[in-house]
Amino acid sequence: MNENNQAISSYDYDAWGNPMNSTVSEMSAYRYTGREYDDETGLHNFRARLYDSTLMRFYQVDPAEQFASPYVYCGNNPIKLIDPDGRLGKFAGSRSDRNQLFGILSSAPISTPLSMDKKGVVHTGSFIGPLSKWEQHFVGMLNDPDNLVIISMDDDGIGSDNKPIFGGVFDSIYESRSGIQANMRVYLPALQMYYEGGGCDVGSSLIHEFGEGYKGIELYALDRNASLEAIQQASHKSVIKNEPDQLYNDSQGFNFSIRIGSAQPMDNGNFLVPATWECWWGFNGNKSTWTVYDQELEVTGEELNEDW
């Protein structure tokens, strides 16, 4: 379409992706099933593999080992089947946890339908409309065949640094057999408070966590000696640059206070203190709050005397 919403190019294909009655004034890089087409090689880029529509075959073997031949497209039945182009964005945890997270993710206002297999792997479908930079980063992450971002649900709302999770936390990153793996945890009550206070919907927050994990993979690949804290901060700042205004912008304020009980001395010289965290998101003078109860914190003598 042009700026006047007039069709200037249209593409019509047979079932295998070969052009039939196409009318083209300006070429589009995205062709059959929304995949990129390379004019020089005549191949369709299905992210994990390259596809030749004239041979009706992929050039690389099927990593999912779905059919008798690892090179066939859609099991030689492109009328009934589609090729799952997304493999490696995943929800972890119990089946109910995965189903709940996927249901929330699917409610996000994005231009591509989503599905989830029995292992929690999220797949993208054909695009309904043009993708924003925010969506492109999300879809590109799901279609990366070498790396893996896993999101799991957190139960107590406290991260590995003994501080509240204000929605999500970059929990760990390491090199696995197939690539680099980033593990993210989300605390749904905090995300819900973000939304109720004036932030984005919870599904869009999950997309933010996927994108942040994938950006962390890119940063880790550049410097494997980088600290997790440095990757956390850099990946968050990078991801929010491509997100719509107010989608996941924490600049309007978030904070917490702690009420601590009687300190119990430990054998190692530290102290164990029961604590209640009172957390809030702030939007335009309003606050949405939640409480994390009865966390036991191990603190040093110096920390015990600080103004928490």
Please tell me the distance from the alpha carbon of residue 86 to that of residue 107, in angstroms, as a whole number: 18
Q: How many CB atoms lie within 10 A of CB 159?
A: 17
| Inter-residue contact 92 to 122 (CB < 8 Å) | no
What is the pLDDT at residue 152? 93
Of 211, 237, 35, 213, the closest CA to residue 108 belongs to 211
pTM to 2 decimal places: 0.63
Q: Hey, where are the domains in the chain?
A: 1-82, 89-250, 252-304
What is the pLDDT at residue 140? 67
What is the pLDDT at residue 40? 87
Tens digits of residue pLDDT in 43-63: 988 766 788 999 999 888 776
Give residue 209's region: left, alpha or beta (phi > 0; psi -120 to 50): alpha
Our CA angle for 173, 233, 149, nearest 5°, is: 35
Of 201, 195, 160, 193, the closest CA to residue 278 belongs to 193
**Structure-block tokens of residue 62:** 């099927």
Per CATH, which fold does 89-250 belong to?
Collagenase (Catalytic Domain) (3.40.390)
What is the pLDDT at residue 87? 41
What is the pLDDT at residue 86? 37
Where the chain has pLDDT below 50, the residues are 85-87, 251
